[in-house]
Amino acid sequence: MSTWMFFTLLAVVMQSVRTAGQKRMAQSLTAEATTLVRFLFGLPFALIYFVLLRRTNSGPELVLSVDYWLPASLAAVSQIVATLCLVKALTLRNFAVGTALAKTEAIMTALLGSIFFAASLSVLGYVSVCVGVIGVLVASNWRISVPDLLNNASIKYGLGAGLGFALASLWIRQASLSLAVPELLSAATVLVYMVALQTLICLALIFYRQPAQFTLIAASCRSALLIGFTSVAGSIGWFTAMSLQEAALVKTLGQTEFVVTLFITYLYFGEKITLRESLGMSLIAISVGLLVAVS
């Protein structure tokens, strides 16, 4: 198994556990507060990881230019918006389907990468995009109409999460590749800055709009620590893999999260998946397979 595949699978497992924890926490906290928990309680773990790598690095010194700061900052904001959308989606739909909708990020990453990041797609690649869209429509139990497209909140949040995470992935890779240091350290450098910036943004947002949420967060410290740890562990996997391989390919392999998510759905939440939802997710999986062939 190649290194980037190992880190991607690590990210898949950690993200599945984190998402399950966020779903639980979202029952007592607002989406904004749940998002803050991910970053605030993950920051200490990110700092420890960065310091350990920095001390063991014997290569060139870190040189941070605008080519690093700009995409890293954009990725941080994009990931916050995506996380808010994901938490909202998880409160509106079945857990597995909500995650499936958000995971259209793999297809979006390939599409956006081809348009804005000089990563072109073949005809088969665009076919995979179409199959993925059909899968999303089927999984959402839509009657495909204009009012549904405009008013279905769960679909908006799910796709919003996918778009936000896709942009974040592309900017993360761009920021990481701008650093002339080993991939592990470059990924950790992007990670620790992003988590710190995201923590400050979310703290300001909660302090200004929902100060009462701080009391509820304090009462959930044990669960918050688990979410923070798994969030950073997952991000270490994603960031490192995307420093080693194209973001679209990493996100494609990341679709194996479907299997883990379904396992959690059945055993932990006791939620049932309908035949139509299973068919929709199968179509999304086929689109991912096509994307693998393209990559």
- 204-244 confidence digits (pLDDT tens): 999 999 999 999 999 988 899 999 999 999 999 999 999 99
Q: Which of 26-35, 42-51, 92-101, 253-262 has the lowest mean pLDDT?
A: 92-101
Say what the pTM is.
0.82
Encoded tokens for 147: 């009012």
Amino acid 206: pLDDT: 95
Confidence band (pLDDT; 50, 70, 90) for 37? very high
Cα separation, 11 vs 263, in Å, equals 16
Tokens standing for residue 163? 């778009």
Is the distance from CB of 234 to CB of 226 less than 8 angstroms? Answer: no
Whether residue 128 is predicted with pLDDT greater than 80 in this model: the reply is no
For residue 257, the 8-state DSSP code is H
**C-beta of residue 132 within 8 angstroms of C-beta of residue 107:** yes
Q: 2 Cβ partners below 8 Å, 6+ apart?
A: none
Give the pLDDT confidence score for residue 224 in this predicted structure.
93
Higher pLDDT, 158 or 163: 163
N-terminal to C-terminal alpha carbon distance within the chain: 17
Percent of the chain clearing pLDDT 70 (strictly above): 82
**pLDDT, position 85:** 85
Q: Which two tokens stand for residue 232?
A: 């950073």
Q: Mean pLDDT check: name the lowest of 180-184, 194-198, 268-272.
A: 268-272
45 confidence band (pLDDT: 50, 70, 90):
very high
Q: In terms of DSSP H, where are the helices of the chain?
A: 3-25, 31-40, 43-56, 66-92, 95-102, 105-116, 123-139, 146-151, 153-177, 183-209, 213-218, 221-244, 247-253, 257-264, 275-294
pLDDT for 144 equals 44
21, pLDDT greater than 50: yes
Number of domains in the chain: 1
Highest mean pLDDT among 51-65, 115-129, 246-260: 51-65
Residue that has been written with the tokens 């990924």 in this structure = 187
- Nearest-CA neighbor of 195 among 75, 68, 52, 17? 75
Quick: pLDDT tens for 68-111. Answer: 999 999 999 999 898 788 777 767 655 555 666 676 787 788 88
Q: Which domain holds residue 30?
A: 3-294
